[in-house]
Amino acid sequence: MDRQTVERRREYVQNIRNSFYEENGMQKRETREVDDSAPEMGLAATLKLRIFLSVCIFAAFLGCMYTHTDLCGYSTQTITEMICDNHYYTNLKNYVMIH
C-alpha cells in the first residue's frame, strides 16, 4: 500500500470513531493520553507485582521461621547467615574482575 492509501484509511477509521462517540453521546477520548500513559501503567503493574511477590516471599520466610520448617533444605538461620555473609556476591565480583 502506498502512503496515500494508508492516510485515507486512517482518516476513515478516525471518522467512524468520531461518529460513534457523537451518536451514543459519549465523550471523545484523546488517543494521545491513552498511548502516553500505557507504558507508565505497565511499569506500575510490574512494580505492584514485584512488591506483592516480595511480600509473599517474606511471609513464607517468617512462616518457616516460626514453625521451624526448612526452605529447600536450608534453615532460616542458614539463609540469614548466607545473606549477611555476602559470600556469593564476593565470588561473583571476583569472577567478573578476572574475566
The band of 70, judged by pLDDT with boundaries at 50, 70 and 90, is confident
Residue 4 and residue 84: Cα distance in Å, rounded?
Answer: 64
Q: What does the DSSP 8-state code read for residue 74? A: B
What is the C-alpha to C-alpha distance for residues 57 and 25, in angstroms, rounded to an integer?
Answer: 48
Average pLDDT of the chain is 78
Q: Which one, of 63, 66, 58, lies nearest residue 83 by Cα?
A: 58
Question: pLDDT tens digits for 32-62?
Answer: 444 555 566 778 888 999 999 999 999 998 9
* pTM score of the predicted model: 0.46
